[in-house]
């Protein structure tokens, strides 16, 4: 199941629950629509997960189905589903600085980070120059307010967690990530040198999935960030997903293990990085 499919399935599951509540109350879709003052098609859309019910919709539903005590739980479920999916336009509507600040709490809480990237190096191990190039590209591509320098400062400050003795970090990146030049040759050379330095931190594991790896068992997937066993964040082209269901977290943990088995570590990873440096030189 893809990450976006997880959101759609959660919506459908809520719709099935609401349908069961309606049926248990002995109401047809037409009857409930009449009581609520809605068009019958609204009932169908909610029950099939194609329309997100509002808080008021759920209170009306619970009231007319004579289960008002379930209203708040239904509302909490719907809000949780809505919180899973945040499109970038909404997250970055006031600029990149606040978007960077918005994820600070989960970084402070997390003790075990498992991060996989198939696109760019993870923010926690980026240099300032690399970060500036990445965020400038985002700002220009999406036509956002130019607060790039402030956003860079926030991301650099977040890296303090790397120096905390009670944190563990496992990074996995595709070889194509370190082969792609971001910000120009000098910026990339600095970044790769920094990657070598970070790789020997005692609390850091760095794995690189070689381009020559046999991808029969697991292909490159969307970049994701695992925060302990509590939450997974997934970066899509259009949105930022937050997943908290244990079954989904377990799925990403399994994928991470499979990718880790493909990756090279230690001296072998160092060899890949130095090869990328030589190619730039």
Domain ranges (residues) in the chain? 3-85, 92-280
Q: What phi, psi does 113 have (nearest 5°)?
A: -100, 130
pLDDT the model gives residue 244: 80
- Whose structure tokens read 């019910």? 53
234-281 pLDDT tens trace:
887 666 788 887 878 899 999 999 999 999 999 999 999 999 999 998
pLDDT the model gives residue 91: 64
pLDDT the model gives residue 195: 98
Can you read off the two tokens belonging to residue 167? 């944190």
In angstroms, the CA 220 to CA 238 distance is 18
pLDDT the model gives residue 247: 79
- Whose structure tokens read 């509540």? 21
pLDDT the model gives residue 103: 87
In angstroms, the CA 245 to CA 11 distance is 13
In angstroms, the CA 19 to CA 48 distance is 9
Can you read off the two tokens belonging to residue 124? 């926690």
CATH fold label, 3-85? 434 Repressor (Amino-terminal Domain) (1.10.260)
Strand order in the sheet with 231-235: 85-87, 239-243, 231-235, 224-227, 112-117, 168-174, 204-209
Can you read off the two tokens belonging to residue 116? 């996989």
pLDDT the model gives residue 246: 80
Residues of the chain with pLDDT below 50 are 1-2
Same fold, 3-85 and 92-280: no
CATH fold label, 92-280? Endonuclease; Chain A (3.30.870)
Can you read off the two tokens belonging to residue 151? 């956003």
In angstroms, the CA 237 to CA 85 distance is 12
In angstroms, the CA 271 to CA 281 distance is 15
H-only helix segments in the chain: 3-24, 29-36, 40-47, 55-64, 71-84, 88-91, 96-102, 104-109, 128-142, 148-158, 175-179, 185-198, 246-262, 266-280
Report the SS3 class of residue 268: helix
In angstroms, the CA 123 to CA 279 distance is 23
In angstroms, the CA 40 to CA 20 distance is 16
pLDDT the model gives residue 278: 97
- Listed in sequence order, the residues at least 6 apart from 101 whose beta carbon sits closer than 8 Å to its beta carbon are 154
- Whose structure tokens read 């292909």? 219
* CA-wise closest residue to 96 among 128, 162, 130, 140: 140
In angstroms, the CA 77 to CA 153 distance is 36
Q: What residues does 232 pair with on adjacent strands? A: 226, 243
Can you read off the two tokens belonging to residue 21? 């509540």
């Amino acid at each position: 199941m893809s990450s976006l499919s997880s959101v759609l399935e959660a919506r459908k599951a809520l719709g099935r629950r609401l349908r069961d509540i309606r049926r248990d109350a002995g109401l047809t879709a037409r009857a409930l629509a009449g009581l609520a003052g809605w068009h019958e098609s609204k009932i169908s859309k909610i029950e099939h997960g194609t329309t997100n019910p509002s808080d008021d919709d759920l209170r009306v539903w619970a009231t007319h189905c004579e289960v008002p005590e379930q209203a708040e739980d239904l509302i909490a479920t719907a809000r949780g589903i809505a919180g899973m999916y945040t499109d970038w336009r909404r997250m970055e509507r006031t600029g990149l600085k606040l978007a960077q600040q918005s994820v600070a709490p989960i970084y402070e809480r997390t003790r075990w980070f498992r991060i996989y990237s198939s696109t760019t190096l993870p923010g926690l191990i980026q240099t300032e120059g690399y970060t500036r190039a990445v965020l400038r590209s985002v700002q220009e591509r999406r036509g956002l307010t130019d607060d790039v320098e402030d956003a860079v400062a926030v991301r650099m400050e977040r890296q303090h967690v790397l120096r905390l003795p009670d944190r563990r970090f496992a990074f996995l990146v595709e070889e194509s990530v370190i082969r792609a030049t971001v910000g120009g040759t000098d910026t990339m050379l600095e970044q790769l040198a920094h990657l070598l330095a970070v790789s020997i931190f005692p609390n850091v594991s760095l794995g690189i999935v070689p381009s020559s790896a046999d991808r029969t068992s697991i292909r490159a997937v969307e970049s994701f960030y695992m925060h302990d066993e509590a939450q997974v964040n997934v970066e899509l082209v259009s949105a930022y997903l937050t997943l908290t269901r244990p079954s989904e977290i377990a799925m990403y943990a399994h994928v991470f293990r499979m990718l880790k088995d493909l990756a090279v570590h230690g001296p072998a990873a160092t060899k890949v990085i130095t090869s990328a440096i030589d190619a730039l030189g």
